[in-house]
Amino acid sequence: MGKRKGAKELFEGRHFDREVIILCVRWYLRFELSLRDLVEMMAERGLSLAHTTIMRWVQHFAPEFEKRWRRFAQTVGGSWRVDETYVKIRGEWCYLYRAVDRAGRTVDFRLSAQRDVAAAKAFFRKAVRNQQRAPQTITLDGYAASHRAVRELKAEGLLPADTKLRSSKYLNNLIEQDHRGVKQRIAVMLGFKGSGMRQSRSPASS
């Protein structure tokens, strides 16, 4: 495992001060701003930037910032609300699996070309691995494949046998509202520009 870069080393060779880079990346990730919005905002501060420069900063620094921010993140609760929605990747549709806890904190997410048992199991494996613990309660909507995935993972031992599985449209309103926020952010970005997904038809039509 490679040694984590220090702050000075992380920004080495950049033409702009690290404060400018951090500000642009943080604002882009935190608020519903487009790259061109940020170009205009920086121009008002006397800085001439191309939108492609900010895009490269986001692509390069966001994963590293996430690792560092994660150290200070609050531990998510043991009650997970899980749902999937669809988003566009390079103009093609794929499914976004997400989970939040009862306080609305993000547990994990995963993109998938399919919406089936295998995709749901892959999402739960990733979430449990990253959280380093299994949930006590999982709340789903009525989609049968996700329920089957939980049952199979219990049988395989990845999820404890006493993990409570429930189906509640009302309780899952929390994550459905959260999906809307994600989609609003994607709309400002004009869709994701890259992924390993290949999906030719719209999930909305399936």
Which tens digit of pLDDT belongs to each residue from 50-78?
Answer: 999 998 898 888 877 776 666 555 678 99
Residue 198 has pLDDT above 50, yes or no: no
Residue 182 has pLDDT above 80, yes or no: no
16: left (phi over 0), alpha (psi -120 to 50) or beta: beta
% of the chain exceeding 90 in pLDDT: 34
Say if residues 166 and 139 touch (Cβ distance below 8 Å): yes
Side-chain-side CA neighbours of residue 206 (13 Å): 14
Segment 45-51 shows an average pLDDT of 91
pLDDT at 199: 37
Segment 73-96 shows an average pLDDT of 82
pLDDT at 172: 64
What does the mean pLDDT of the chain come to? 79
Segment 11-39 shows an average pLDDT of 83
Segment 155-183 shows an average pLDDT of 77
pLDDT at 7: 57
Greater pLDDT, 7 or 132: 132
% of the chain exceeding 70 in pLDDT: 71
Segment 187-206 shows an average pLDDT of 42
Q: Where are the alpha helices (DSSP H) in the chain?
A: 7-10, 18-30, 35-43, 51-70, 117-131, 144-156, 173-189
Helices and strands (DSSP H and E) totals, the chain: 7, 5
Greater pLDDT, 108 or 13: 108
Band of pLDDT at residue 33, cut at 50, 70 and 90: confident
Residue 156 has pLDDT above 80, yes or no: yes
pLDDT at 115: 93
Chain-centre distance for alpha carbon 183: 11
